[in-house]
Structure 1
Amino acid sequence: MHRYLNDPTLAVPVFPGSHIVIDGDYIFLSGLTVTDIQGGEAVVGDIAEETRWVMRRLARMLEFAGGNLSDTVRVDVHLTNLDTIHTMDAAYAEFFDDHRYPARTCTESPRLSGDSNVEITLVARRPVETDAGARG
């Protein structure tokens, strides 16, 4: 059975969707831009900071859903300008250990919500609990 959740620290979506959907094996997070985050508009235009703000919030959303970034298997990134990909990549890579990066797509989207320059969405595998309750 699917569970549909909204992050209590974000505004309720204005679109017909949920921030988080959890099914038996996976956690799906809706696309997020820096302008979805209170105060985020202050960093619009700095692609590295936009990426860090979004990745930090996605990490918190995963924790809220019972996972973490190391559980991520798929990421979709939308940039308003693909010429900024190397700067975005450098900031994005800070969030994954030991070069264990999820599968990823990166596209250019000329217009994102709130004039943001990056939108990121991800899918994570739900952690497996062992008999002792620890992650396996």
Structure 2
Amino acid sequence: MPTYTNDPTLPTPSFPGSHMVIDDHYVFISGLTVADLSNGHAARGDVKEETRLVMRAISRMLEMEGGSFADVVRVDIHLTDLHTLQELDGVYAEHFDPGRYPARTCTESANICGGCSVEITVMAKRQHQSAQ
């Protein structure tokens, strides 16, 4: 049975959803933007800094479940401007071992919640499966 949980270091979601849904095999992390972070407001509009802060929050959430970016199997990214993709990629790639990048979708979305430039969603394999 899935567990629905929120990261206690983040503000409660302003949407009807959870930060994370965890089952026996995967950790699903809802799309995160800097607007979802208590310290992210000053970063809005700076794709590199938005990406850095969101990836840091995702890393912390993965660690809460005993995982890391090495366990990530899929990432969905939304950018308000695909012309900033190289800026995002420069920060994004720092979190993965070269040649071990997860499957990824990246789209341009004209409006991202909170007036942000980047939103990132993650699916990761769980390290610790519950006893059955």
Say yes or no: does 1:94 pair with 2:94. Answer: yes
User: Residue type of the partner of 1:64?
Assistant: M
Query: Hey, which bits of structure 1, 4+ residues long, moved more than 3 A?
Result: none
For residues 100-133 of structure 1, what are the alpha-carbon distances to aligned partners after superposition, in whole Å with 9 as ceiling and x for unaligned? 100000000101111110000000001157xxxx
User: Residue type of the partner of 2:26?
Assistant: Y
Correspondence for 1:39: 39
Structure 1: unaligned runs, 5 residues or longer: 130-136
- Aligned-residue offset at 1:98: 2.7
Separation of aligned partners in 2, 1:36 and 1:45: 15
For residues 57-94 of structure 1, what are the alpha-carbon distances to aligned partners after superposition, in whole Å with 9 as ceiling and x for unaligned? 00001111221111000000000001101111111001
Separation of aligned partners in 1, 2:91 and 2:102: 15
Separation of aligned partners in 2, 1:128 and 1:10: 24
- Correspondences of 1:1-136 after superposition (within 5 Å): 1-127=1-127
- Aligned-residue offset at 1:99: 2.6
In the superposition, the TM-score normalised over structure 2's length comes to: 0.94
- SS state at 1:39 partner: coil
Correspondence for 1:133: none
Structure 2: unaligned runs, 5 residues or longer: none
8 Å Cα contact 2:13/2:36 also seen in 1: no
- SS state at 2:11 partner: coil
RMSD (Å) for aligned C-alpha atoms:
1.1
Correspondence for 1:132: none
Separation of aligned partners in 1, 2:19 and 2:36: 11
Aligned length in residues: 129
In the superposition, the TM-score normalised over structure 1's length comes to: 0.91
For residues 44-65 of structure 1, what are the alpha-carbon distances to aligned partners after superposition, in whole Å with 9 as ceiling and x for unaligned? 1110111011001000011112
What is the percentage of aligned positions where both structures have the same residue? Answer: 57
- SS state at 1:76 partner: strand
Separation of aligned partners in 2, 1:23 and 1:92: 26
Separation of aligned partners in 1, 2:127 and 2:39: 31
Separation of aligned partners in 1, 2:87 and 2:77: 13
